[in-house]
């Protein structure tokens, strides 16, 4: 569990277990919340060196007067060649955490873990989507609607 999640009250609302679904979710956010820039989130997911990397991004923007929103990304990973003598497979592990605090102080967060054995094999992905527990008449219902429209289960 990320430190950010421990500090804020959150509710787990769905899982995202593949990159295509994550990209579809972000694209839906872009359509719904057009004053917020999400393009770097998808670009960050495409980055990362093979052996190891650690990316930390804080992005603040004011898409409307006195309406500052903040996004943070933590993305890290490493790979191991396995053993030449033991024929262990190459393994790759990555962790991705994205948090968006809107200008209204509402929260959306995604935690994902990626794992694969073998170079070039697809990742096994486990991801969770969280929202804040504060009161919202517009933001959280819009997030739930996006999740429903994409066919994800809502918890």
Is 2 within a domain?
A: no
Structural domain span for residue 99: 8-149
Q: What is the pTM of this model?
A: 0.87
- How many other C-beta atoms can be found within 10 angstroms of the C-beta atom of residue 116? 18
Is 98 within a domain?
A: yes
**pLDDT the model gives residue 5:** 46
- How far from each other are the two terminal CA atoms of the chain, in whole angstroms? 18
Contacts of 141 (CB under 8 A, 6+ apart): none
Is 82 within a domain?
A: yes
Q: Which residue has the tokens 């969280």?
A: 130
Pairwise CA distance, residues 42 & 26, whole Å: 8
The alpha carbon of 151 is separated from its chain's Cα centroid by a whole number of angstroms, namely 18
Q: What is the mean pLDDT of each run of 10 residues along the chain (155 residues)?
A: 62 95 96 92 84 93 87 94 73 95 96 90 94 96 97 94
What length does the chain have? Answer: 155
- How many other C-beta atoms can be found within 10 angstroms of the C-beta atom of residue 102? 19
What domain count does the chain have?
1
HEC secondary structure over 92-155: EEEEEEEEEECCCCCEEEEEEEEEEECCCCCCEEEEEEEEECCCCCCHHHHHHHHHHHCCCCCC
Is 24 within a domain?
A: yes
Is 68 within a domain?
A: yes
Is 105 within a domain?
A: yes
- Helix pair angle (19-32, 139-149), 10° resolution: 140
């Amino acid at each position: 569990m990320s430190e950010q999640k421990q500090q804020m009250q959150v509710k787990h609302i769905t899982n995202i277990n593949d990159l295509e679904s994550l990209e579809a979710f972000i694209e839906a956010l872009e359509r719904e919340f057009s004053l917020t820039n999400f393009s770097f989130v998808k670009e960050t997911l495409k980055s990362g060196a093979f052996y190891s990397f650690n990316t930390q991004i804080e992005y603040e923007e004011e898409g409307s007067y006195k309406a500052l929103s903040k996004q943070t990304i933590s993305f890290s990973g490493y790979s191991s060649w396995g053993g030449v003598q033991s024929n262990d497979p190459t393994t790759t592990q990555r962790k991705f955490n994205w948090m968006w605090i809107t200008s209204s102080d509402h929260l959306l967060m995604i935690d994902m873990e990626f794992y694969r054995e073998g170079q070039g094999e697809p990742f096994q992905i486990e991801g969770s989507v969280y929202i804040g527990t504060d009161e919202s008449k517009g933001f959280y219902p819009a997030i739930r609607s996006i999740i429903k429209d994409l066919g994800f289960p809502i918890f």
